[in-house]
Amino acid sequence: MADFEDLLPVIAKNLGGEGLIKELCNGFQLLMDKDKGVITPESLRRTSTLLGLPDLRDDEIMSMVKEGDLDGDGALNQMEFCVLMFRLSPDLMEESLLRLQKESTTEVDFDGRD
């Protein structure tokens, strides 16, 4: 299995730039289980208000994880999350990317991953 770092330039290129990737992965940082470093149904439940979906049901959470879980480990790693978000809402992501680029005054250091 390829490392995420190896795939990232390819994904960034395909999606049209680094800005979208940065935004997607900022979302990942917010939603993930800090101990495990992946998004789990439990971490999603805890952070559902961040999604604007405080009343998210368990079955909705499970189906979201299942939808994006490409390797079948029951959790979303960073790449799976990025792919899922883009698949779910390419138009939305494009709009928010444009907004982010206009409004953002702080540069996100995407390489500072530790």
Binding stretches for Ca ion (CB under 5 A): 69, 71, 73
Q: CB of 96: closest distance to Ca ion in angstroms? A: 24
Nearer to Ca ion, 60 or 73 (CB): 73
Nearer to Ca ion, 32 or 93 (CB): 32
Nearer to Ca ion, 65 or 97 (CB): 65
3-state secondary structure string across 87-113: HHCHHHHHHHHHHHHHHCCCCCCCCCC
CA dihedral 44, 46, 111, 21 (to 10 degrees): 40
Q: CB of 69: closest distance to Ca ion in angstroms? A: 4
Q: CB of 113: closest distance to Ca ion in angstroms? A: 18
Sign of CA dihedral 12, 42, 50, 104: negative
What amino acid occupies position 30?
A: L
